[in-house]
A and B are shown apart, each in its own frame.
Chain A
Amino acid sequence: MTDAALYRQSDPRLLGGRPHEGPASKRITTGYGFWIFLLSDIVMFSCFFAAYAVLLGQTADGPKGAELFDLKSVAAETALLLLSSFTCGLAMIAADVRNALWYQIAMAVTCLLGLGFLALEFREFAELVSRGAGPTRSAFLSSFFTLVGCHGAHVSAGILWLLTMMAQVLAKGFRADIMRRLLCFALFWHALDIIWVAIFSVVYLLGSAA
């Protein structure tokens, strides 16, 4: 049974037959608040996307995207991130059925996939900088490093959060407050994946076509 179902049955306000009265459960208000935060984060990313799209041609006679981007590496990063989203979903199912072992395994796999993604991204950045195509080279590269680096920073923060959640479940078990944090973490991780879809499409595929 999902947590949502448990909450419905254990919520005393719902037993009186007037289900629409009273405040929403804490799980809903927490999840909704975090959903609003994620949407505002996506709005922030949209500004970086707009900057990238506007500055795509402003290469200051420097290298263009088509000369810089290694699509094989990008495809590998995408595969890692998609797979990590999948294992994150498995971890949430395991948490809902209170299976600590499978939860920890799925979260550990998610963490490794995320770290693999970061390693590939870091290697790509290091290679660009060593080829003289760092963020100071042109407006195009500044916007590229800002956008993709901002996503990478989010993934790094997500991995720290992931490790925290593994430790919290280990120390405190599947308490209601821990389950709320897990709900928010899963939303965050899946939202990062959605932003990555926009990045590989707009930045890498359209950027190397232009």
Chain B
Amino acid sequence: MNMSLWHFFTDPVLRAPAIGSMLLCMVSGLVGVLVFLRKRSLLGESLAHATYPGVTGFILLAGFLNLQEVLSGLILIGAFLSALIGYWVIDCLEKKWKVSSDASLTAVLAFFFGAGITIASVAQHQFPNLYRQMQTYLYGQAATMTDIHIVIYGVLALCVILFIAIFYKELAALLFDTPFAAATGIAHRFLEMTVFCVVVLTLVIGVRCAGVILMSAMLIAPAVSARQFTNRLSLMFVWSALFGALGGFLGIYSSVVLSQSFAGHYSVPSGPMIVLVSGSIALYALLFAPKRGLVIRYIRIAKFRAACVQENLLKAIWRLNQEGCAIDIPLLIKKIGFPSFYLRLILNRLIKQKTLYREGVFYHLTRLGIKNGARIVRLHRLWEAYLVYSLGLKIERVHKSAEEMEHILTPELEEKLTLLLDDPKKDPHQQPIPEVVR
């Protein structure tokens, strides 16, 4: 079968899982921002596991009472109830018994999950059908969604978006400054309860798609990715929703395509695939996001270091030029001590920047080179003058700081310093401070 992307939105079988998981992951992206910024991402993890006894218990109950028609509703109620109990226990442990937060989260997670599995084992031999159904909630089963799920997830998405839009200001206050929120008369306890209910509701509805074990990833991954791209809360919600939806769709897409390309020999589970894709997106964002990505950060640092080296070399050449030396490579090696290969590399870069030109074995500064070199020396000496005259530091201790600051000072700062020091002609070492070359 030929699979185009568009196919995933029109085909009656594929439509529901694709759109459904997109909507669900979008919602969990939005909700994830709330827990991520409060640094309680792992609460989602515990509560998702805590839904399992509710799920298995109510499936079993429905099996005993022959309530197959309202099964999905019952499962929702059961999951919600047991997540609430889980939260209550965590809260009690933390506040009444002063158990540390991580231990109480883990204890509740492990105990509830164990209880859920015990309940599931009741059905194992007696009701194989129910048991299979319980197992699908472990890893989720996005592939068997129907159109009704699109409606449910759509309504959920709408509610969450409306909630965030209406209470945006209050949420921002609550997330970043709870005492302020309380002081300005925001009903922060009520709001906190509502946020908590929204989180649990999303978890409960989402476990069918992603499973109790992996549901928390759907909350964390999009928020992590979104945080890399923005510093604004509003944009973070948008990015997170986008990343969530993208992860949901690509997860389903890759699961279907991979399963099909192996002609049914292997089936790739959709829930873990969604998590895997979302996790990869988050990893990509952590490494390569503009500004905050690790690799980008390192590249920026490396660029800055290279610029410093170039400026230092230019400064040295300018000084030698002032002294009237003819500048060639042996002289520079003697003065600076770079290895010859590295030195040639930087010299070539400076030539490319049109600050140097070469005549035979000698290098000469261009007009631009003279201007730039003078500026660096000027900044260096201005800073030394500032440290000594204005801050009263000892003369022999200012050189090191000036070596660093000469690369950082901006033209505005230079102007301010000039004004402050009344346009000095000499630095503390009695060296002339070069004039600004226009």
Asked if A pairs with B, the answer is no
